[in-house]
Amino acid sequence: MRMVIAAVGRLRQGPEAQLLDDYLDRHARAGRALGLPPVTVAEVEDRCGGGMAAEAPLLERAIPEGAALVVLDERGQMLTSPEFAGRIAAWRDQARDVAFVIGGADGIDPGLRDRADLAISFGRMVWPHMLARVMLAEQIYRATTILAGGPYHRE
């Protein structure tokens, strides 16, 4: 199993990058015993201003073949953290790769969005894509602690 975040834009050094690295490091450490791999981040950028249509093929290239495709989209489903953890465990048990896709300023091209296995919403408000990246990393770490039975997640 591989876990990939494919995201539009380059995250510069700063608080978001520090938070992202921290959650992904924590996930990597906690996930080892659970058979969950570290998350890799593939950043894509279209320098010609082509918007989401130009970004879609760049994102596609970062998605492993046959991977479960999860798009982050404010119109998607709102899962609880334990539900999200259950999805991750199911992909692990099927030895299936999973790719999480985060769009740019215009969002994710409908062609890519429509073929997703799952669209996840962090609420109906629109978040900056760099914050969505950090929030996703935190939820992946949280999911790992839920699967490990740790005390980080409380209801």
Ligand X SMILES: C[S@@+](CC[C@H](N)C(=O)[O-])C[C@H]1O[C@@H](n2cnc3c(N)ncnc32)[C@H](O)[C@@H]1O
Per CB under 6 A, the list member of 125, 149, 151, 155 interacting with ligand X is 125
Per CB under 6 A, the list member of 5, 72, 116, 134 interacting with ligand X is 72
The rounded distance, in Å, linking the Cα atoms of 50 and 65 is 25
The contacts of residue 36 (CB under 8 Å, 6+ apart) are 1, 3, 27, 88, 92, 144, 147
Q: Does 122 bind ligand X (CB under 6 A)?
A: yes
Q: Does 105 bind ligand X (CB under 6 A)?
A: yes
Element (H, E) at 146: helix 129-148
Each residue 13-52 as x (binds ligand X by CB under 6 A) or -, in order, gives ----------------------------------------
Q: Does 140 bind ligand X (CB under 6 A)?
A: no
Question: What's the closest the beta carbon of residue 130 comes to ligand X, in angstroms?
Answer: 9
Q: What 3-state class would DSSP assign to 13?
A: coil
Contact between residue 153 and residue 98 where contact means Cβ atoms under 8 Å apart: no
Per CB under 6 A, the list member of 103, 138, 140, 146 interacting with ligand X is 103
Specify binding-site residues.
Answer: 72, 103, 122-127
Residues forming the site for ligand X (CB under 6 A): 72-74, 102-103, 105-108, 121-123, 125-129, 132
